[in-house]
Amino acid sequence: MSSALPSSVLQRLSNSDFLHLGTSSHDIPHVSLMNYTFIGPENKYKSSEKQPEHLILLATSKNTEKYQNLVANPRCSILVHDWVTSEKDKTDNILKLLESLNQAEISELSCTLAGHVFKVLEKDGGEEFEYYKEKHLQRNPKAKVFMDTDDLALVLIQIDTSKVVDASNNISRYG
């Protein structure tokens, strides 16, 4: 399915800073606001292992509800919505950004993705762990505080399906 991702989804994944990650365990849902790194074909770790064309990289402590949910149930849902704001807002913290949002600042598309855990890398994951950790820190320098933990896990999510909704409620499904 990954190769069938439309350009609107690829653009959102490449340009947005945050996503909402939906996980569940024992039919109890949990949503987390996360920074992430979109991993396209050009920036995947070079490996002989067959890998999906597109991945979403997340970093989390293993001592979190989202991580425990992904271990119990590797299926997840992701919402990516690109909030278009001024440069000033981008330098403020996320709380101020969310408080300052109004309808005129919201972009035209949102993408809902269904996926599953493709791979979990832990600190002893060698070169591949270090490669993806560096990629994530390059894309999300402020995430360093969340990644300086002994129980860090890097989670690679494979995208199975996507749905794009525009401001006129036109819905397109892929995969």
* Count of structural domains, the chain: 1
Mean of the per-residue pLDDT values of the chain: 85
CB 153 within 8 A of CB 120: yes
Q: What's the pLDDT at 79?
A: 96
Report the CATH number at residue 154: 2.30.110.10
Q: Does the model's pTM come out above 0.75?
A: yes
Q: What's the pLDDT at 21?
A: 98
Q: E strands of 84-124, at which residues? A: 106-122
- Burial of residue 62 (number of CB atoms within 10 Å: 0-12, 13-18, 19+): middle
Question: Helix %, strand %, coil % for the chain, to 5?
Answer: 35, 40, 25
Q: What's the pLDDT at 5?
A: 84
Q: What is the pLDDT of residues 88-114, one digit of tens each?
A: 444 556 555 555 554 444 457 789 999
Q: Residue 56 and residue 116: Cα distance in Å, rounded? A: 10
Q: Identify the segments of the chain with pLDDT beneath 50.
A: 1-3, 85-90, 102-106
Encoded tokens for 163:
């749905």
The half-sphere exposure of 141 on its side-chain side, counting CA atoms within 13 A, is: 1
Q: Residue 104 and residue 165: Cα distance in Å, rounded? A: 17
Q: What's the pLDDT at 163?
A: 92
Q: What's the pLDDT at 70?
A: 98
| Residue matched to tokens 């149930």 | 73
CB atoms within 10 A of CB 50: 5
Q: What's the pLDDT at 166?
A: 81
Quote the domain boundaries for residue 136. Answer: 2-174
Encoded tokens for 63:
């001592």
Q: What's the pLDDT at 174?
A: 87
